[in-house]
Amino acid sequence: MNYGSLLDAVNRIGNALQAIGCQRGDRILIALPDSLEFVATFFGAAKIGVVPVPVSPFMKAGDYSHFLSDSDAKIAVIDPLVAPEFEICAKRLGVTVVISGTERNEQSWLNWQQCAAGASPFLDSAGTGSSEIAFILYSSGSTAARRRRRPKKP
């Protein structure tokens, strides 16, 4: 990956997010593994003033429901492996879902690659202010879990 290709992907996803209704200040949940899709979605959202909310793609439906509700995300970009867990909460919460991968999805969710391919590679940055939220990051809870398992000191 070079900077030109990355910029192209970021701009295309930023434009695609705007085309599906993302507006400055909105939150977008990202449940993708470390990948081009993750980086382009994170920075594409940030470039248009949308707040990325990255979460692990290895959570359960209850976790995703909590993240969506707590962050007030209206759009989610997910990996196909997340779909079975995500389907449960997406309908209930009325979230627009974009799924990565090239295969068709049974839920008729938007496809990341198709959205990116059809979008312009040119995008101006939003005029965000220095005090605006740049992103929201939830803890996985693993630190607290490790602490609970440690024996207490005498």
Q: Which domains does the chain have, with CATH numbers?
A: 3-149 (3.40.50.12780)
Model confidence, pTM:
0.86
Residue 145 or 102, more confident: 102
Interatomic CA distance for residues 122 and 140, integer angstroms = 35
pLDDT averaged over the chain?
87
Interatomic CA distance for residues 77 and 113, integer angstroms = 11
Q: How confident is the model at residue 140 (pLDDT cuts 50, 70, 90)?
A: low
- Pair 123, 11: CB distance under 8 Å: yes
Is a pLDDT exceeding 90 seen at residue 13? yes
DSSP code string of 5-44: HHHHHHHHHHHHHHHTT--TT-EEEEE--SSHHHHHHHHH
Is a pLDDT exceeding 60 seen at residue 142? no
Calculate the CA 18 to chain-centre distance: 14
